Structure 1
Amino acid sequence: MTNQVLTQSEQALEKELNLQIANWTVLYTKLHNFHWYVKGSNFFRLHEKFEELYNEAANYIDEIAERLLAIGGRPVATLSDSLAVATLSEATGSEDANAMVESIIADFKVLGSELKHGMKIADEAEDQASGDLLLGILSTIEKHSWMLNSYLGK
């Protein structure tokens, strides 16, 4: 589809994929913030977990952007564009360790809902590959959510 005019369903998918790129970009930065500023008795455990999650976020940004390019779209590629598109919020800088974990769980809930919507849009665009990509991400963040909730004793 490169260099072609996108259909209405492809434009809708481009919008959804850009939303994911923007949100993962915000989350990537938030996870770095948490990685650097976490304090307390669980420092080492959370420091490592946040690093694992921001590395995963970086991979998702790249995978989704490359998928979008493959179908003829244009991924958001600046911080200002990402902040304008994203539905996730940046870290406040005042979170304690548990609030950091709760923030990530809340972000994963938002992402999960948006991933499911994106999968429907991908189906309407008859783009199984994009839908499968989003499904894989959804499966992973659902597992992370369960683990993070368990960490908090929920």
Structure 2
Amino acid sequence: MSTENRIGLDSDKTKKLAEKLNALLANYSVFYQNTRGYHWNIKGDSFFVLHEKFEELYDDLKIKIDEVAERILTLGYTPNHKYTKYVEVSEITESEKVSDGKAAVNEILEAFKTTLKIQREILALSGEADDEGTNALMSDYISEQEKLVWMYASYVGK
């Protein structure tokens, strides 16, 4: 027998969603910090372009981190907040100091591939749970990030 949470969704299904959202939160947090590092350490001919692009990206990731954490809370669960837990859970690994623009962009492309995969899994789970709020959030993220993948991939000639 299932019970409903405070927004009328199946508690068992939202528990799975919250777990997967916490995994996304961990990946976003490591991705965010890596992008800060690229922003700080970028060198070379593309400095002015990439320095600004990396700042745009980490500003966006900061917003997404907050939105995902708030969605977890809306579902009635607690977002993880410890960076040690993020590193443990994240499929995106912490980046070493990267000053080469193409190397940084390639790492960003890999991070997007990871987050897109997780977001599609969340999208499927949210559909099963009739959770339109999470569904809309993931759908928006996926559309936006697929376009960014195209743009970053074009930069490195892929």
TM-score above 0.5: yes
Unpaired stretches in structure 2, ≥5 consecutive residues: none
2:27 touches 2:86 (CA, 8 Å); kept in 1?
yes
Residue number in structure 2 paired with 1:107: 111
What is the aligned-residue identity percentage? Answer: 34
Q: Among residues 31, 36, 39, which one is paired with 1:35 in the alignment?
A: 39
Residue number in structure 1 paired with 2:128: 124
2:42 touches 2:98 (CA, 8 Å); kept in 1?
no
Residue number in structure 2 paired with 1:50: 54
Q: How does 1:1-154 map to 2 (within 5 A)?
A: 1=5, 7-94=11-98, 96-154=100-158
Deviation at 1:10, TM superposition (A): 1.2
Structure 1 segments, 4+ long, off by >6 Å, are: none
2:43 touches 2:99 (CA, 8 Å); kept in 1?
no
Task: Give the stretch that moved more between structures: 87-96 or 105-114.
Answer: 87-96
Q: Which amino acid aligns with 2:16?
A: A
Return the alpha-carbon distance in structure 2 between the equivalents of residues 63 and 93 of structure 1: 28
Encode CA deviations 1:108-154: one digit per residue, 9 max, x unaligned.
01111111111001111221110110111111111110000111122
Aligned length: 152
Deviation at 1:8, TM superposition (A): 2.2
Return the alpha-carbon distance in structure 1 between the equivalents of residues 121 and 134 of structure 2: 12
Encode CA deviations 1:60-113: one digit per residue, 9 max, x unaligned.
000111111011011111111211221111112245211100000011011111
Unpaired stretches in structure 1, ≥5 consecutive residues: none
